[in-house]
Amino acid sequence: MKPSIFVTRRIPQAGLDLLEQHFEVTLNEEDRVLERSEILDGIRDKDALLCLLTDTIDAEVVHANPKLRVISNYAVGYNNIDVAAATSRKLPVCNTPGVLTETTADLTWALLFSTARRVVESDNFLRAGKFHGWGPMLLLGVDIFEKTLGIVGLGRIGSAVARRAAGFRMKILYTAQKNNLELEQECHAERVELNELLTQSDFVSLHVPLTEKTQHMIGTDQLQMMKNSAILINTARGPIVDEQALVQALRSKEIAGAGLDVFENEPALAPGLAELENTVLLPHLGSATIETRSKMATLAAQNAIAVFQGERPEAIVNPEVL
């Protein structure tokens, strides 16, 4: 008999097809985030769970079904899962790193460009019938080339963002736990303390995971340190930024703009954020391409399958349980 798996929402077919070969699949067919009670119902008697970053898998859910043998998250970030609780019961937690790195770096640049050059605001302006011909002072943005890009957290995605900056001859500053010598050579990147990065960068892009340490890492004080002309980009996780403080900083022109793909209380936005013209706001699309979502689905499926084949999953967050 095949083991059983609960999939909390439809993912690309490649992943579902793969799962079908190895599991009895129960899929939530409704295209919405499940309530916690529905997740608890869904995993009852199941051997495996494939969940999304919008599913809160806290200690209670982790412990709800002693039969559960793997939690496979369809995301690279896993702050939605109580990993310590899973580890305490020797339950592997898997994620989807690597496959979405370049795609998320692309979107980071899309946000950087569109914020710096006011692309969305200008498009709205034109569609509203306000374009009456070229103007010497019309919708001026700021340059990107040869500016300083600050990368907070030089992991896979941060590095991919940095590599793209070479084409714009940008100076790169980064924070990380240790130096990345390869990238320093390749991109002339320089590792600095966060405060120095904030004071010197024209663009600050966040690429740290969300943890207790990184929550509200960018608040009032940090925003004040940034240049008045600086632009903040966040494609990591919303709670890394104190969103209220950011609204305040944008309003008072403490910083010039923000391009955000993630929000502190997603899908809600901090009051006032959506009214600000110097922001570009996207509905969490970092990895949202046809190709990459299919790869994520395949990897999430492979991770779950590996556990039942007694193999080491390609991407496991808590390998100590193996």
Catalytic residue set: 237, 266, 284
Residues 17-56 interacting with ligand GLV (rule: CB under 6 A)? 53
CB 227 within 8 A of CB 202: yes
Compute the least distance from the CB of residue 207 to ligand GLV, in Å: 5
51: enclosing H helix or E strand: strand 48-51
Compute the least distance from the CB of residue 236 to ligand GLV, in Å: 8
12 in contact with ligand GLV (CB under 6 A):
no
Instruction: Collect all residues with Cβ–Cβ distance below 8 Å to 240 and sequence separation of at least 6.
Output: 206, 208, 210, 214, 215, 216, 217, 218, 234
Distance CA 91, CA 63 (A): 10
- Contacting residue, 12, 42, 155, 257, with ligand GLV by CB under 6 A: 155
CB 317 within 8 A of CB 300: no
Compute the least distance from the CB of residue 85 to ligand GLV, in Å: 19
97 in contact with ligand GLV (CB under 6 A):
yes
Compute the least distance from the CB of residue 257 to ligand GLV, in Å: 22
Residues 53-92 interacting with ligand GLV (rule: CB under 6 A)? 53, 75-77
Of residues 164, 253, 254, the one with CA closest to residue 205: 164
Judged by CB under 6 A, the stretch of 10-18, 135-143, 150-158, 190-198 that binds ligand GLV is: 150-158
238 in contact with ligand GLV (CB under 6 A):
no
205 in contact with ligand GLV (CB under 6 A):
no
Q: Quick check: helix, strand or coil at residue 258?
A: strand
Compute the least distance from the CB of residue 113 to ligand GLV, in Å: 20
Which residue reads 């991919």 in tokens? 160
Residue (79 or 114) nearer to ligand GLV, CB: 79
CA distances to 61, 210, 303, 317 from 320, rounded to whole Å, are 21, 21, 16, 9
Judged by CB under 6 A, the stretch of 43-51, 156-164, 196-204, 251-259 that binds ligand GLV is: 156-164
Instruction: For the chain, report the end-to-end CA distance as a whole number of angstroms.
Output: 24
Judged by CB under 6 A, the stretch of 117-125, 153-161, 241-249, 266-274 that binds ligand GLV is: 153-161
Residues 99-128 interacting with ligand GLV (rule: CB under 6 A)? 100-101
| Residue 166 identity | A
156 in contact with ligand GLV (CB under 6 A):
yes
CB 317 within 8 A of CB 83: yes
287 in contact with ligand GLV (CB under 6 A):
yes
Compute the least distance from the CB of residue 97 to ligand GLV, in Å: 4
Return the half-sphere exposure (C-beta side, CA atoms, 13 A cut-off) of residue 49. 31
189 in contact with ligand GLV (CB under 6 A):
no
Instruction: Collect all residues with Cβ–Cβ distance below 8 Å to 133 and sequence separation of at least 6.
Output: none
Residues near ligand GLV (CB under 6 A) are: 53, 75-77, 97, 100-101, 155-158, 207, 286-287
